[in-house]
Amino acid sequence: MTEMLIFERSRPGRRAYAQAPAAEDTIDIPAQFLRTDRPLLPEVSELQVVRHYTRLSQQNFSIDTNFYPLGSCTMKYNPRACNALAMLPGLANRHPLGPVSQGQGFLACMYELQEMLKAVTGMRAVSLTPMAGAQGELAGVLMMRAYHTSRGDHTRTEIIVPDAAHGTNPATATMCGCVVREISTGPDGDVDMQALKAAVGPKTAGIMLTNPSTLGVFERRISEIRRIVDEAGGLLYYDGANLNAILGKVRPGDMEFDVIHMNLHKTFSTPHGGGGPGSGAVGVGKRLEPFLPIPVVGKDDGGAYRWFSEEDLPHSIGRLSGFMGNAGVLLRAYVYMRMVGKDGMRRIGEFATLNANYLQARLKAAGFEPAFPHRRASHEFIITLKTMARTLHVTAMDVAKALLDQQLHAPTTYFPLLVPECLLIEPTETETREALDRFADAMIAIAEQAKVDASKVKGAPYTMPVRRLDDVKAARNLDLAYKPGA
Amino acid sequence: MSELPGELLYTEEHEWLRQEEDGSVTIGITDHAQAALGDLVYVELPEVGAELDAGDEMAVVESVKAASDVYAPVGGTVLEVNSDLADDPEKINSDPYGDGWIVRMQPNDLDESNTMDPDAYQELLDSLED
């Protein structure tokens, strides 16, 4: 059943008395600052509030309830231990402006997190301050610009972005005042080397490379790409959003990249999905080290931890957030990394890749078309339903909706744009073989259903709180406001 | 199979171009392009009088699936834009070669355009189908 808005349950004068503030809580506020009109809040009983939000939570589709193979998002299990330890009173109650001497435990965790990320990526220095992946990208490209500017080189304004990159890459380059030079991908999923050679030149500020790319394959000519861009005087940006696949196997620092951003909320498993909070920590090589965003955590001569800021890093691109990123997310990532350890990192990369390849092989055997059938998948893979769409008029979106009726979260649909009618499937390393088999069985059943009665698939979902939404009408006739009492 | 009027010129980026008797050209996106994008929900149009080079971003079409740039197939000056599309972007879906036109331009030099004839465009479409 569709849950009503809580405002629709509102009745004048109804109150949740247990939640009403005591008079003494407000007594210190001067009278001229107290509002006289009533706030436009729903007037409901406590039991109504409890039931409303409990029902909403039951309708929620989450990694805690179901398989969630949403490609590009790395929806893996968030270990409960990370939550529990990050919520320890000494960490949770620490005030960010408190004396450094009283926050040594937290600063030690952050220092060690920086060190572990350096070890995992092979980079020389790390800053934890970006609040999300997109802000990490912004920091990365701002550092690239700062590097060229510091050398008096003002002509390097072009950023090369392969068309298989994350969509945030060209957006970031544009935000930083650069011009995007898009280069194409070959039929095997690797960067078109001729297009790269034609794109580099004296204006090249650098390249932003997502590896493994959004096509779910590892860029095999990465060394050659590095050489071509480096010889043209450009810097190398590694979009580490897909780091899960290479964890413990290869390191961007060893590939001699200058900068990487990591989505700690994805690879190092803090709860995400729904808009944050996140963490887009950045790692840099020697050339960009002076420009790292502040603050970073360092040690003074006596071994005590402290914030390194403008005085220590005078060439820094500056601050990206009020304090140092999202402390709760950073702590969860820290606990996660400490728990899995060095061997665990390698096994994450191996099982993420194994699970994706197993699922791809099962679907391929059942007649589904992988977008790159001759390539081994990384942590995710793409199937294209273009044949089904052409012959049965059943689209990727129809199949995605039908999966919901099987209590499975849909994979990412229609992304990347390079592949028609595609599903981008990322099972992650935390799923059992049974869970993967159940997904494959559901896909096969839907494909069979499409052959027998396509309209059944096109009408899905049937069991969700709401049926198929008219997203075209929703976009054309935006109606987002609910005005209480209107 | 998408519709392909024989009197039009086409681009690799799936725009079409029609030469009008007064020397201007009308530009839109092809049936294949609208089908691939799906139901359009928003169209961003250039300013009348804008001067464009061939290959410049001329307009943006947005569907529930994706936003896509429309490139100028030829350099020139924008004479007129299809302002009906602001309220009815779906005209591009229902009539891509007619009511769904996007821009009318005064071209600088048609010989310099990045266009191909219908047969060549059909070949391109066939190669995408494989």
pLDDT at B109: 86
Mutate to test the interface with A, among B12, B32, B37, B39 (most CBs of A within 10 A): B39
Query: How far apart (Å, rounded) are the C-alpha atoms in residues A34 and A30?
Result: 7
Q: Reply yes or no on whether the pLDDT at B1 is more than 70.
A: no
Cβ distance A185 to A163 under 8 Å?
yes
Q: Which residues of A touch B89 (CB under 8 A)?
A: 476
pLDDT at A474: 85
Q: Which residues of B touch A420 (CB under 8 A)?
A: 36
Query: B71-93 in b/e burial notation, b at 16+ Cβ within 10 A?
Result: bbbbbbebbebbeebeebbbbbb
pLDDT at A482: 67
Q: Is the dihedral of CA A58, A63, A65, A67 positive or negative?
A: positive
How is the beta sheet containing B9-10 ordered, strand by strand?
B9-10, B15-19, B25-29, B103-107, B76-81, B51-52
User: CB-CB: which of A414, A420, A475 is closest to B41?
Assistant: A475
Mean pLDDT within A399-419: 94
**B85 Cα to chain A: minimum distance (Å):** 12
Please tell me which residue of chain A has the smallest CA distance to B67: A417
pLDDT at A321: 86
Mutate to test the interface with B, among A395, A469, A471 (most CBs of B within 10 A): A471
Q: What are phi and psi of A472, to 5 degrees?
A: -70, -50
The strand pair at B40-44 and A412-413 is best described as unpaired
Query: How far apart (Å, rounded) are the C-alpha atoms in residues A475 and A61?
Result: 23
Which residue's structure tokens are 């959004």? A214
Say whether B41 and A472 touch across the interface (CB within 8 A). Answer: yes
End-to-end CA distance of chain B: 13
pLDDT at A324: 86
Q: Reply yes or no on whether the pLDDT at B52 is more than 80.
A: yes
Q: Reply yes or no on whether the pLDDT at B35 is more than 70.
A: yes
Which residues of chain A are at the B interface, by a Cβ-Cβ cutoff of 8 Å? 414, 417, 420, 471-472, 475-476
Cβ distance A455 to A401 under 8 Å?
no
pLDDT digits 0-9 by tens, B62-85: 998 788 999 999 999 999 999 999
The strand pair at A235-239 and A204-210 is best described as parallel
pTM greater than 0.80 (yes/no) = yes
Q: What is the CATH number of domain A81-339?
A: 3.40.640.10
**A415 Cα to chain B: minimum distance (Å):** 9
pLDDT at A18: 73
Amino acid making up residue A299: K
Between A277 and A451, where is the model more confident? Answer: A451
pLDDT at A19: 67
Sequence-ordered list of residues with C-beta below 8 angstroms from that of A48, at least 6 positions apart, any chain: A6, A9
pLDDT at A486: 45
Structure tokens at A120: 């995992």
pLDDT digits 0-9 by tens, A80-106: 999 999 999 999 999 988 999 999 999
Q: Quick one: DSSP state of residue B78?
A: E
Q: How many CB pairs under 8 A join A and B?
A: 14
pLDDT at A68: 96
Average pLDDT of every residue of chain A: 93
Three-state SS at A381: strand
Q: Which residues of B touch A417 (CB under 8 A)?
A: 66
Between A373 and A18, where is the model more confident? Answer: A373
* Gyration radius (Cα) of chain A, Å: 25
Mean pLDDT within A152-178: 94
Considering the domain delimited by A343-473, tell me its CATH architecture: Alpha-Beta Complex (3.90)
Query: How far apart (Å, rounded) are the C-alpha atoms in residues A153 and A156?
Result: 7
Cβ distance A179 to A157 under 8 Å?
yes
Please tell me which residue of chain A has the smallest CA distance to B40: A472
Pick the CATH number of B9-109 from 2.40.50.100, 3.40.50.2000, 2.60.40.10, 3.40.190.10: 2.40.50.100
If 0-12 CB within 10 Å is exposed, 13-18 middle and 19+ buried, where does residue A127 land?
Answer: buried
Query: How far apart (Å, rounded) are the C-alpha atoms in residues A24 and A36?
Result: 18
Structure tokens at A48: 């109504």
Beta strands in chain B (DSSP E): 9-10, 15-19, 25-29, 40-44, 51-52, 57-63, 67-71, 76-81, 103-107
Query: How far apart (Å, rounded) are the C-alpha atoms in residues A351 and A374?
Result: 20
**B79 Cα to chain A: minimum distance (Å):** 27
pLDDT digits 0-9 by tens, A331-347: 999 999 999 999 999 99
The ipTM, to two decimals, is: 0.73
Say whether B36 and A476 touch across the interface (CB within 8 A). Answer: no
pLDDT at A26: 60
Q: Reply yes or no on whether the pLDDT at A484 is more than 60.
A: no
Q: Which residues of A touch B65 (CB under 8 A)?
A: 414
Mean pLDDT within A117-143: 97
Query: How far apart (Å, rounded) are the C-alpha atoms in residues A75 and A425?
Result: 11
Q: Which residues of A touch B39 (CB under 8 A)?
A: 472
Mean pLDDT within A46-52: 93
* Out of A30-44, A214-228, A376-390, least confident range: A30-44
Three-state SS at A208: strand
Spans of all domains in chain B = 9-109
Q: Reply yes or no on whether the pLDDT at A311 is more than 50.
A: yes
Three-state SS at A182: strand
pLDDT digits 0-9 by tens, A181-198: 999 999 899 999 999 999
Query: Quick one: what percent of chain A has pLDDT higher than 70?
Result: 97
Q: What are phi and psi of B9, to 5 degrees?
A: -105, 155
Q: Which residues of B touch A401 (CB under 8 A)?
A: none
Say whether B64 and A475 touch across the interface (CB within 8 A). Answer: yes
Q: Which residues of A touch B37 (CB under 8 A)?
A: none
User: CB-CB: which of B42, B65, B89 is closest to A414?
Assistant: B65
pLDDT at A60: 85
pLDDT digits 0-9 by tens, A348-372: 999 999 999 999 999 999 999 999 9
Mutate to test the interface with A, among B64, B71, B129 (most CBs of A within 10 A): B64
Structure tokens at A310: 């403008």
Most confident of A59-68, A273-282, B21-30: B21-30
Say whether A476 and B41 touch across the interface (CB within 8 A). Answer: yes
User: CB-CB: which of B36, B39, B41 is closest to A420?
Assistant: B36
Q: Reply yes or no on whether the pLDDT at A169 is more than 90.
A: yes
pLDDT at A23: 59
Three-state SS at A386: helix
Q: Reply yes or no on whether the pLDDT at B41 is more than 70.
A: yes
Say whether A471 and B64 touch across the interface (CB within 8 A). Answer: yes
Structure tokens at A368: 């589904």
Phi-psi region of B68 (alpha: psi -120 to 50; beta: other; left: phi over 0): beta
